[in-house]
Amino acid sequence: QVQLVESGGGLVKPGGSLRLSCAASGFTFSDYYMSWIRQAPGKGLEWVSYISSGGSGVYYADSVKGRFTISRDNAKNSLYLQLSSLRAEDTAVYYCAREFGDFFDYWGQGTLVTVSS
């Protein structure tokens, strides 16, 4: 069965950096586009970033453009999100999600990133 497991979250100071990972299993990872989506505490969902199946196409929400970098390693069935210049408003649970026909058909359980001094 499809499984997506995020890791790498934690407490980081404003201006700091963090790298999130998403381990995929149960499907041919290299065939699928992937995205990161976040949810601030008590708030709704916000799409963050997208990467094409081969990794050449990447897109970002305006709120994170220039600070976050999405990447993938198809040999390791893994998706990554490098978070830099972090702000308090980046505090959220970050989910990785598989894309299927322009919607997200499978999601992970999320990893919490807290930005605080």
Partner 1 sequence: QPVLTQPPSASASLGASVTLTCTLSSGYNNYKVDWYQQRPGKGPRFVVRVGTGGIMGSKGDDISDRFSVLGSGLNRSLTIKNIQEEDESDYYCGADHGSGTNYVYVFGTGTKVTVL
Binding residues vs partner 1 (CB under 8 A): 35, 44-47, 50, 57, 59, 61, 95, 101-110
Rounded least distance, CB 19 to partner 1, Å: 20
Q: Determine contact, residues 51/105, Cβ cutoff 8 Å.
A: no
Rounded least distance, CB 10 to partner 1, Å: 18
Q: Which is nearer to partner 1, 23 or 45 (CB)?
A: 45
Rounded least distance, CB 50 to partner 1, Å: 5
Q: Which is nearer to partner 1, 74 or 99 (CB)?
A: 99
Q: Which is nearer to partner 1, 46 or 91 (CB)?
A: 46
Q: Determine contact, residues 70/9, Cβ cutoff 8 Å.
A: no
Rounded least distance, CB 114 to partner 1, Å: 17
Phi and psi at residue 8, to the nearest 5°: 105, -5
Q: Determine contact, residues 49/60, Cβ cutoff 8 Å.
A: yes
